[in-house]
Amino acid sequence: MTETQLNGSSGPGVPAQRGGTTRVAELAAKLTDRAREIIARYPADRSRSALLPLLHLVQSEEGYVSPAGIEFCAEMLGLNKAQVGAVASFYTMYKRRPTGDWLVSVCTNTMCSTLGGQQVYDALSEHLGVGHEETTPDGKITLEHAECLAACDYGPVLTVNYDFFDQVDPDTAIALVDELRAGGRPKPSRGARLCTLKEISLQLAGFPDPRPEAVADGVPGEPTLRGLRLAQQHGIAVAGFDPSTPITASGDGAPAAEAAGVAANKPASDRKPAGDAAKPQEQALKEAK
Amino acid sequence: MSTTPRRETLEKLTPVLTKRWLSPEAWRIDVYERLDGYVALRKALAVRPDDLIQLIKDSGLRGRGGAGFPTGLKWGFIPQGDGRPHYLVVNADEGEPGTCKDLPLMTHDPHSLVEGVIIAAYAIRANRAFIYIRGEAVHAARRLRNAVQEAYRAGYLGRNILGSGFDLDLVVHSGAGAYICGEETALLDSLEGFRGQPRLRPPFPATHGLYASPTVVNNVGTIASVPYIVLGGAAWWRSMGTEKSPGPMIYSLSGRIRYPGQYECSMGITLRELIELAGGMQPGHNLRFWTPGGSSTPLLTADHLDVPLDFEGVAAAGSILGTTATQIFSDQDCPVYATYRWLEFYHHESCGKCTPCREGNYWMVRTYRRILSGQGTYADLDTLLDTCDNILGRSFCGLGDGATSSVTSSLKYFKQDYLDYIEGRKAPKLSAKTLAGAH
């Protein structure tokens, strides 16, 4: 690595030419067209916005953010490797070591943990013989414990390559990973049929799922619809909805709501460097003392 | 036995934003169009942008991301005729523990968000919009990207939308796993290709947001509300909720109730009524503590069953409405352990920019491990409160403030539970092997 390459002097959109078949050159040959497509989504002088999707793109080829992948991103965007590495290491979804085809993420945040998520994680960890962010020797499964996956009404949940398996327990979770290791592709509870981590990374880079049926996959589960079903069963609807109500410019606002909303978002005092005041937390602290 | 909720409780249900979820293919543009879809857009493009801002002000709509700032006022802050590009950014980085309302909306009714984006962008004169969606939300993103493609093909996005002369490009941008990016200025940094760390405010995004240009950042639920207000009018919107907190709200119930799930209700419903809708508590469980709006909001207890769950009511009870992520715990759950798991979260998700939040959460996790492994001391409780005092109000953004919520509120209501671990009345929840470095 020469000094000029370190500084990314080849400029945006022009991967460095180099002799031989280094991994960077291979990546450039494979990914440059897609990378340019990503960069074109953002304003012309704001190519750095493409960095997150470019890192997902690198994972779609490498299975993790490899050193070559970091160099490729740097060259595409006219950044240096340290700038790219600093971003890549910040985000949980960018993996810094080779990762299995199937990333199994078990939610162990408070609600899922309360409902049994920790036992699911422990059972999988013992069954697979790996810990957090470790991969089975066959390279197939990487296990991790995850923070809240935004499906608390289905807890405890786990995801495989980020598609959900709801209300899991140790037995169903072990059966699931066994099926994955045996080459099966079990169907998630509500998402699309599973694709590999590399395949999902390409979608995370902003490219559509190439399987047309995948978009249609998955119906809402009962918890999602529970409130609606109650309303439907009991004939509850919001009254007075007329879609042809004219838009008038003569309104005088909603002064009570506006004043309340402004009052609830007072800027912080000088005591705080920035942001909003945190009155309820201050009150809780005072009362806890 | 679960019983049918009483009629007056059922009547608090207000299916508006969630209504299309019952139509299994509402994510397809043709189905969406048959269900009032893109009617609001045609209506909106026929009036002046300022009329739309006034309409949203008239509706009293307050942001659905947790802070409850008046949406119309926020839109009105965007300077007009300044010659700079304007941006609309949708915060779809749902990740507050307990929160699960935006993912189903984007999965089952993605066009309502896309339509809201187009109307809001027209109102604030933005020609570029971004939806920053949480990376892990892959199926929601599939549906959303598909909806954006469909909207382009139908002429709802792109150049000269429906012959109005208005142009808009919309990009769905996936994050990469960082809770902090739900904070609006961290989100903007992330969208610009940096580590997601909060910015100093002021200046606020309204004048110096994305690419230092005027920017509106709104939550998914806020933007998805816009087409309904355009259709039904401000007065109809205000017919739901309360005077200060108008409209419907999606309450996400999880935990020890019989039927966890999404319940869209008039703002101001109480937990007692929500539990009734959810079929009651699970057999053998009695309510002990709950979060009104995610883990960053101070815990409430069985004494707060009749608090109106609107912005004002929850604030008066000493907590925050937040994202209406109502996590319900029973007498079989331990508030000390629950708080410990939340702190593990804040410790993991602290971006590291501000020392009090980065170091404080690190040490609080260790203090909790010591208490939960039966080796805690009375001084540990003072250490926790002292640490909270040093985090609270001393960091750039609300993450640090939020981290103190469950610590201080659980100590306020459940100090005996802490003492039970310290004085050996309660069996340790954690083994001593997790204690490395705690002594």
Q: pLDDT tens digit string along B64-95?
A: 998 899 999 999 999 988 999 999 999 999 99
CATH class in words for B335-435? mainly alpha
CB nearest to B146's CB, from A93, A163, A215: A215
**Residues in chain A with pLDDT values less than 70:** 1-21, 268-276
Q: Give 10-residue mean pLDDT values along chain B (439 residues).
A: 85 97 95 97 97 97 94 95 95 95 97 98 98 97 97 98 98 97 96 96 92 98 98 97 97 98 98 98 98 96 98 96 96 97 97 96 97 96 97 91 97 98 94 54
CB nearest to B176's CB, from A91, A215, A252: A91
Nearest Cα neighbor of A14 from A3, A5, A1, A23 is A5
Nearest Cα neighbor of B438 from B351, B364, B382, B378 is B364
Cβ <8 Å between A247 and B211: no
Minimal Cα distance from B381: which residue of A? A289
**Taking CB atoms and an 8 Å cutoff, what residues of chain A touch B274?**
none
Minimal Cα distance from B24: which residue of A? A219
Q: Which spans in B154-217 are helix H?
A: 184-191, 205-208
In b/e form, how buried is each residue of B212-239, taking b as 16+ CB within 10 angstroms?
ebbbbbbbbbbbbbbbbbbbbbbebbbb
Where exactly does CATH 1.20.1440.230 map onto chain B? Answer: 335-435
Predicted pLDDT of residue A276:
67
Burial bucket for residue A274 (CB in 10 Å: 0-12, 13-18, 19+): middle
End-to-end Cα spacing for chain A? 58
**Taking CB atoms and an 8 Å cutoff, what residues of chain A touch B412?**
284, 287-288
In the stretch 382-421 of chain B, residues with CB closer than 8 A to chain A read: 385, 388-389, 392-398, 401-402, 404-405, 407-409, 411-412
The Cα-based distances of B31 to A90, B23, B28, B112 in angstroms read: 40, 8, 5, 12
Predicted pLDDT of residue A268:
64
CB nearest to A236's CB, from B10, B200, B402: B10
CB nearest to B145's CB, from A43, A208, A273: A208
Cβ <8 Å between B263 and A226: yes
Strand, helix or coil at B393? Answer: coil
> Which residues fall within 8 angstroms of residue B431, CB to CB, at 6 or more apart?
B373
Under DSSP, the state recorded for A164 is: E
Minimal Cα distance from A222: which residue of B? B261
- For residue A69, what are its two tokens? 């992948």
C-alpha distance from A30 to closest chain B C-alpha (Å) = 22
Cβ <8 Å between A251 and B234: yes
Gap between the Cα atoms of A55 and A61, Å rounded = 10
CB nearest to A231's CB, from B13, B51, B58: B13
Under DSSP, the state recorded for B319 is: S
C-alpha distance from A60 to closest chain B C-alpha (Å) = 14
Q: Contact B99/B254 with Cβ under 8 angstroms?
A: no
Where exactly does CATH 3.40.50.11540 map onto chain B? Answer: 17-238
Q: From the candidates A92, A96, A247, which should be mutated to test the interface with B, based on the most B CB atoms within 10 A?
A: A247
Q: Which CATH superfamily is domain B17-238 in?
A: NADH-ubiquinone oxidoreductase 51kDa subunit (3.40.50.11540)
Cβ <8 Å between B259 and A223: yes
Residue range A102-196, CATH number: 3.40.30.10
Rounded (5°) CA angle A6-A8-A14 = 140
C-alpha distance from A184 to closest chain B C-alpha (Å) = 20
Cβ <8 Å between A288 and B172: no
**Taking CB atoms and an 8 Å cutoff, what residues of chain B touch A247?**
43-44, 47, 51-52, 55, 230, 233
Q: Where does residue A108 fall: left (phi above 0), alpha (psi -120 to 50 degrees), or beta otherwise? A: alpha
Q: Contact B138/B107 with Cβ under 8 angstroms?
A: no
The Cα-based distances of A61 to A88, A144, A259, B315 in angstroms read: 16, 21, 52, 49
Where exactly does CATH 3.40.30.10 map onto chain A? Answer: 102-196
Q: Contact B379/B223 with Cβ under 8 angstroms?
A: no
Q: Return mean pLDDT, chain B.
A: 95
- For residue B86, what are its two tokens? 């304007």
> Which residues fall within 8 angstroms of residue B138, CB to CB, at 6 or more apart?
A161, A162, A163, A191, A200, A203, A204
**Number of CB pairs < 8 Å for A and B?**
404
Q: Compute and round to an integer the Cα radius of gyration of chain B.
A: 22
**Taking CB atoms and an 8 Å cutoff, what residues of chain B touch A210?**
none
Gap between the Cα atoms of B73 and B57, Å rounded = 7
Predicted pLDDT of residue A41:
97
* Fold of the CATH domain B248-330: Ubiquitin-like (UB roll) (3.10.20)
Cβ <8 Å between B70 and A77: no
Predicted pLDDT of residue A152:
96
CB nearest to B312's CB, from A147, A229, A260: A260
> Which residues fall within 8 angstroms of residue B200, CB to CB, at 6 or more apart?
A273, A274, B396
Asked if B222 reaches chain A (Cβ–Cβ under 8 Å), the answer is no
Where exactly does CATH 1.10.10 map onto chain A? Answer: 3-88
- For residue B130, what are its two tokens? 């971004």
Predicted pLDDT of residue B270:
98
Cβ <8 Å between A152 and B102: no
Name the percent of chain B in helix, strand, coil, to the closest 5: 45, 15, 40
Cβ <8 Å between A92 and B177: yes
> Which residues fall within 8 angstroms of residue A105, CB to CB, at 6 or more apart?
A144, A145, A146, A149, A158, A159, A160, A162, B136
CB nearest to B58's CB, from A220, A226, A254: A254
Under DSSP, the state recorded for B199 is: P
Nearest Cα neighbor of B130 from B207, B45, B55, B190 is B190
C-alpha distance from A266 to closest chain B C-alpha (Å) = 10
In the stretch 325-384 of chain B, residues with CB closer than 8 A to chain A read: 325, 327, 329, 333, 338, 341-342, 345, 348-349, 351, 354
Rounded to 5 degrees, φ, ψ at B379 are: -65, -25
- For residue B196, what are its two tokens? 């997601």
Q: Contact B308/B324 with Cβ under 8 angstroms?
A: no
Residue range A3-88, CATH number: 1.10.10
ipTM: 0.96
- Tell me the whole-structure pTM to 2 decimals: 0.95
Minimal Cα distance from B64: which residue of A? A261
Strand, helix or coil at B91? Answer: strand
Minimal Cα distance from B106: which residue of A? A220
